[in-house]
Structure 1
């Protein structure tokens, strides 16, 4: 194992440990006051909401978007990329299926957003074409720099390891969890991977009733 590989391995291990400890703490606190069905569905609510950073990104239509202005709807943010060989297409296909089974009144309150961890390749045009394969209503966001992207990822506790873009066909290590952002524009929690379609279809409408 090379020095770079060892460094990346250690970073991934540290990030996984921190995220694991955070989620376990939240689950412990949540079990004292939240329905077990929601926890069983992988929906982990934070004891206190978190503000999002004022980072400007670009959506799949080439329009500027302020991350701290996701308001009016519940948002599920998934950090992935269009060249991902496995977890991303699987997760997006699951989210499409979950959406198709939700009540109509719930659909109007919910949006799915793919935040690209590969701004080097994921142009707005690439995001739009890719997301169109799954659901034309899915939104995509790409950052102007890795630093901006990491600010958003760190604020939401959704880790990823920046890729070595000099290598051909590179991949990006990232989390499969989803961040839950409420209609007030603050983070309310997470949905843990892997997604359970049946349980999420049953519990997401209950989440959307919250203020």
Structure 2
């Protein structure tokens, strides 16, 4: 990664932190204790839901998926990739653990989506094989880099496209998750690193809404 790319990545991350510090003060309709508990668990809700771009991607079964049609459930969107050496497998393992600790009816209202930031290597077959190690219901999505950039910008979850000419390349990306509501809009973030215990305690109340 060049110095310019690193600077851009850091600036975007700083903006995300500032946004989080701002919106944590304006969680509408919740008591101060509720707000504090959500923020302590790493859940940052936006003051106003954001519309998700109308993008067509391909899932791990080779089927088309419209990102703005991820509705009817709460959805956690993670931008990562299957060849990631650390953040991605750790995050997916934590999400599997969190889902397993939720009451069954609550877990049924939660969808986990991995959007690959490495479309060259993360074919549908690769995504399907990889996600099977974590949870058969996790969804993997693949799309061209230009569409990935559009989604990342809309969700305020940064990544830097890799130089795919280099063997064994890695992709710099955020560990934060985007939180989409049953209406298909973005309602907030879950900050990295994930706290399994606190998220397992706070998500049932949020997913009940």
TM class by shorter chain equals over 0.9
2: CA distance, partners of 1:8 / 1:58: 28
1:14-39 deviation per Cα after TM superposition (whole angstroms, max 9, x unaligned):
11222122111112323994511111
Partner of 2:23: 26
Partner of 2:176: 177
Pairwise CA RMSD:
1.3
1: CA distance, partners of 2:48 / 2:190: 16
* Cα distance, 1:209 vs structure 2: 1.3
2: CA distance, partners of 1:66 / 1:55: 6
1: CA distance, partners of 2:49 / 2:113: 19
State the SS of the aligned residue for 1:29: coil
State the SS of the aligned residue for 1:200: helix
Map 1:1-211; keep pairs closer than 5 Å. 5-30=2-27, 33=30, 35=34, 36-143=36-143, 145-210=144-209
**Taking structure 2 as the reference length, what is the TM-score of the superposition?**
0.95
1:46-68 deviation per Cα after TM superposition (whole angstroms, max 9, x unaligned):
10000000010000000000011
> Is the CA contact (8 Å cut-off) linking 2:28 and 2:47 kept in structure 1?
no
* Cα distance, 1:84 vs structure 2: 0.1
**Taking structure 1 as the reference length, what is the TM-score of the superposition?**
0.94
1:89-132 deviation per Cα after TM superposition (whole angstroms, max 9, x unaligned):
00000001111110011011111100101111100000000000
1: CA distance, partners of 2:73 / 2:13: 30
1:150-171 deviation per Cα after TM superposition (whole angstroms, max 9, x unaligned):
1111111110011010000000
2: CA distance, partners of 1:139 / 1:44: 23
2: CA distance, partners of 1:85 / 1:103: 31
